């Protein structure tokens, strides 16, 4: 066989009540809270936690070590990162080098944003295409590369 084929799957997921999933998507060994929506072509990896009443739009990637609070919106194509290439390249399976990301409650992340391993407090809006490289500890609107505080909500 000249290649290996992997199919999108939903496996060993802990679902709350009234969760809506649009397939195809790849969800495995994660938790998704009640009332949440997961769009097509989304991957949510092992150990990731999505809170209640969240919306994860299409083509987003939520890797291991990511926790998202309640009432959050994750736009199209949002990428969460857990490997900072701290030794000059990918961790190559050395999960001890991976870092956590925690997203608070009532956070909206615009399409195509990239979220490095950070803590994001409650009541934050992150603009489309932004790159979050540092913890966000003050509620408000952030945008840019790197994302910077623009104004209060």
Give residue-wise pLDDT tens across range 72-82.
Answer: 999 999 999 99
* Alpha-carbon distance values, 74 to 12, 78, 146 (Å): 22, 7, 18
As given in the structure block, the two tokens for residue 25 are 């998507």
Q: Which residue has the higher pLDDT, 49 or 85?
A: 49
Q: What is the CATH number of the domain that holds 35?
A: 2.160.10.10
Examine residue 3 and state whether it is found in any structural domain, yes or no: no
Number of domain units in the chain: 1
Distance CA 68, CA 134 (A): 17
Is residue 2 situated within a structural domain?
A: no
Residue at 30 is within a domain: yes
Q: Which two tokens stand for residue 117?
A: 């391993």
Q: Quick: pLDDT tens for 56-95.
A: 999 999 999 999 999 999 999 999 999 999 888 898 878 8
* In-domain check, residue 69: yes
> 119 in a domain, yes or no?
yes
Position 76 in a domain:
yes
CA dist., res. 109 & res. 78, Å (int): 8
Q: Is the pLDDT of residue 1 over 70?
A: no
Span 17-39, average pLDDT: 97
């Amino acid at each position: 066989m000249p290649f290996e084929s992997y199919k999108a799957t939903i496996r060993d997921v802990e679902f709350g009540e009234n969760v809506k999933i649009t397939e195809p998507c790849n969800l495995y060994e994660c938790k998704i809270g009640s009332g949440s929506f997961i769009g097509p072509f989304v991957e949510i990896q092992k150990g990731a936690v999505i809170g209640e009443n969240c919306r994860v739009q299409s083509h987003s990637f939520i890797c291991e070590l990511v926790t998202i609070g309640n009432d959050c919106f994750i736009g199209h194509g949002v990428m969460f990162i857990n490997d900072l290439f701290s030794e000059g390249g990918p961790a190559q399976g050395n999960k001890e080098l991976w870092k956590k990301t925690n997203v608070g409650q009532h956070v909206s992340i615009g399409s195509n944003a990239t979220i490095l391993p950070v803590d994001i407090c409650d009541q934050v809006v992150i603009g489309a295409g932004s790159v979050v490289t540092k913890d966000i500890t003050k509620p408000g609107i952030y945008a840019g590369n790197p994302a910077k505080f623009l104004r209060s909500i």
